[in-house]
Amino acid sequence: MFYIENENEPIRPIALATCVLYENDNNHYLITASHVFEGFESKKIGILINDVFSLLHGFLIYTNDKQNKMDLAIMKLAKHFVQDILEQYSFLQNDSIITNHQLTNKQDYLMAGFPVSKTKIKDYSKTIKREELIVLTNKSQEEKYKKYNGLNYDINNHIIVDIHKVKDFKDVKPVYLPPDLYGVSGSGLWFISSTSPATFSLVAIMTEWHKKDRVSIGTKIDIVLDIIKYRIDSEHNKALERNS
């Protein structure tokens, strides 16, 4: 995800965050963290489609639940915008999502996103350099959950994973993390199956990074699906009725 401060040519998108695209029952959604939009009311947020900046079009809601640390934003995308997105991206289907997932004690999880520090505009053209950060990780010990419970992280709704080093899949050597994970908010946490070939299933949306403690915190995908089912679709339909 990117934002622009104005539409003067040449348009220079600025890296902002990561998101997950999801399809269900012929409806299409963009999922990220709500703080991605905070403070950007005067700026325009979008994504790159074939390296061209495109403003988001759709019906957006925030969880706005700071007490329970539900830092989620979900946009039900406009049909015409979906067709543009499909020129480059695909939408996650339900068979690539696991609900009621029981965390394992192994390094069976992968977090992938786009840190701002690894996204650069090469020049004033539309050429963008983007590097995906891929982290193999495992669940944190329960005492870390207890530590963060003071911030209302509920083990039933959140997942905390350890973030130590990034594995470079080109030469299979561990390398240190970039200075921070700013820009990875809204990325997915994926469970890697032990089957052959391995499959990747979404279990959470990552929203926070605690650099000092080397942990990342996400909200279980179950919560996201419930918000889509019981809130965003309902509010979207009400809005359409009010304007019909």
Model pLDDT, residue 177: 59
Query: With helix as H, strand as E and coil as C, how does 70-124 read?
Result: ECCEEEEECHHHHHHHCCCCCCECHHHECCCCCCCCCCCEEEEECCHHHEEECCC
What value does the mean pLDDT take over residues 30-38? 92
Strand partners, 191: 109, 201
**Region at 65 (left for phi over 0; alpha for psi -120 to 50; beta for the rest):** beta
What value does the mean pLDDT take over residues 209-215? 82
Q: Rounded to an integer, what distance in angstroms lies between the CA atom of residue 209 and that of residue 196?
A: 32
Q: How high is the mean pLDDT of the chain?
A: 84
Q: Is it the case that residue 124 has pLDDT exceeding 70?
A: no
CB proximity list for 132: less than 8 A, separation 6 or greater: 112, 113, 114, 118
- CATH match of 2-93+224-242 with 2.40.10: yes
Give the closest residue to 21 by CA, choosing from 45, 62, 66, 56: 56
- Residue with the two structure tokens 């695209």: 21
| Greatest distance between any 2 Cα atoms in the chain | 58
CB proximity list for 227: less than 8 A, separation 6 or greater: 61, 63, 72, 74
Q: Which CATH fold would you assign to the domain 95-220?
A: Thrombin, subunit H (2.40.10)
Please, where are the H alpha helices in 101-216?
A: 142-148
Between residues 222 and 178, the one the model is more confident about: 222
- Residue with the two structure tokens 């401060």: 5
Model pLDDT, residue 243: 66
Q: Rounded to an integer, what distance in angstroms lies between the CA atom of residue 201 and that of residue 103?
A: 12
Domains 2-93+224-242 and 95-220 share a fold: yes
Q: Is it the case that residue 127 has pLDDT exceeding 70?
A: no
Instruction: Write the pLDDT tens digit of every residue in 48-103.
Output: 998 888 999 999 998 877 777 889 999 999 999 999 999 999 999 999 999 999 99
Pairing of β 173-176 and β 165-168: antiparallel
Domain locations in the chain as residue ranges = 2-93+224-242, 95-220
Model pLDDT, residue 190: 96
Q: 110-114, 128-132, 225-229 — which one is most confidently predicted on average?
A: 225-229
Please, where are the H alpha helices in the chain?
A: 79-85, 142-148, 221-227, 233-242
Q: Is it the case that residue 187 has pLDDT exceeding 80?
A: yes
Strand partners, 209: 216
Model pLDDT, residue 174: 56
What value does the mean pLDDT take over residues 109-135? 75
Model pLDDT, residue 150: 64
Instruction: Write the pLDDT tens digit of every residue in 139-181.
Output: 988 777 777 666 668 888 999 998 876 655 555 555 555 556 7
